[in-house]
Amino acid sequence: MNHLETGIYTTFWNDILQRTDETNKTLRHAKLVLKTAVASLTSLKEYVTSKQDSFHTYEKEGEQLSQSGLVYKAIKSRLKSCNVRLNPLDYGHTEKVQISPSEKYRTQTFLPIIDQFISSLSQHLEAYKQISSKFSFFRYLQRFFSDELCISAEQLIRSYPNDLDITFKEELCQFVTFANIFIDEEPTDVSTDLFLYRLVLDKDVQETFPNIEITLRLYLALMVTNCSGERSFSKLKIIENRLRTSLTQKRLVNLTMMSLESDILCELYSNEVISEFTMKKIKLKCQESNPDFTCNSI
């Protein structure tokens, strides 16, 4: 804590992590509304962006915290000179601009950190926006008109053509009336989406509303954690060591997934998987050596 840079980092990250933690509490809420999640991440992104102009404020707070004065740690670097072959001697040169240590730290360290953080937030925000645009209408079934429901249904059909059929639009319009009859039974400790899914199962109307049941199951099966990236990188450090630096991206992703889902992998009957893999390799080798080879030859 004796360095000015440490004091700046401490005061800056104290503010950023405090607001990030409070936002994450909202995102982990059991009755989270997707639009609320989008609004929360948008506000957090704008808050972090506004900190780009607050460097001098954090510099003063860091100075008080570290009690080191406005003295930055000296960084030795090789002085770069112009290449004579690329820049002739008779070519006009501008004078070299001397950047202060404070400005150098702001442009080379402080602003890149904020830009990286904003980029990460933008990825999370885009993911929530995509999910919200597809499934958020379930929270407001009573407020939507038939035309709006049809538009939402068509968007979902385009997103999941192999799971939903064209009858989903009319099915959704009927389901609104069905759900309104039991709206008083909705508990306060579960989300509306979970209540609707339980309603379909408890009333045994899966055959009447098959697409509704599939859609709600798709949405409720989505991952809700915000720690998957950190978990993946922790596993990646174990898998990609100095002896595996030549792994292709596809194989590396597959190995990472196998490590992350090791509990499921252990339940598989490995002998059958190994036998199937071996047969595929044998068929591939045979086809390479004999183009007329058929699968029935084995």
- Integer Cα distance of 50 and 68 in angstroms: 27
pLDDT at 93: 55
Q: Which two tokens stand for residue 181?
A: 């009859």
CA distance 278 to 68: 66
Contact 121, 48 (CB under 8 A): yes
Q: Please name the amino acid found at residue 212.
A: I
How is the chain split among helix, strand and coil, in percent rounded to 5? Answer: 70, 0, 30
The greatest distance separating any two alpha carbons of the chain, rounded to the nearest whole angstrom, comes to 88
Q: What is the pLDDT of residue 193?
A: 82
Q: What is the pLDDT of residue 15?
A: 92
DSSP 153-211: HHHHHHH-TTT--TTHHHHHHHHHHHHHHTGGG--SSS-HHHHHHHHHHHTT-TTTSHH
Q: What is the pLDDT of residue 80?
A: 54
How big is the chain, counted in residues? 298
pLDDT value of residue 77: 47
- Measured CA to CA in angstroms, residue 254 lies from 235, 239, 244, 267 at distances of 12, 11, 14, 17
Dihedral in degrees, nearest 10, Cα atoms 208, 212, 215, 216: -110
Quote the pLDDT of residue 95.
Answer: 57
Q: What are the mean pLDDT values of the chain's consecutive 10-residue runs (298 residues total)?
A: 81 91 83 81 93 90 80 57 55 62 86 90 86 80 76 87 88 88 82 86 90 88 54 58 68 76 74 80 76 59
- CA-CA distance, 279 to 298, in Å (whole number)? 9
pLDDT value of residue 228: 46
pLDDT at position 224, please? 53
Helix axes 210-220, 168-181, angle to 10 degrees: 80
* 44: nearest Cα among 21, 60, 28: 21
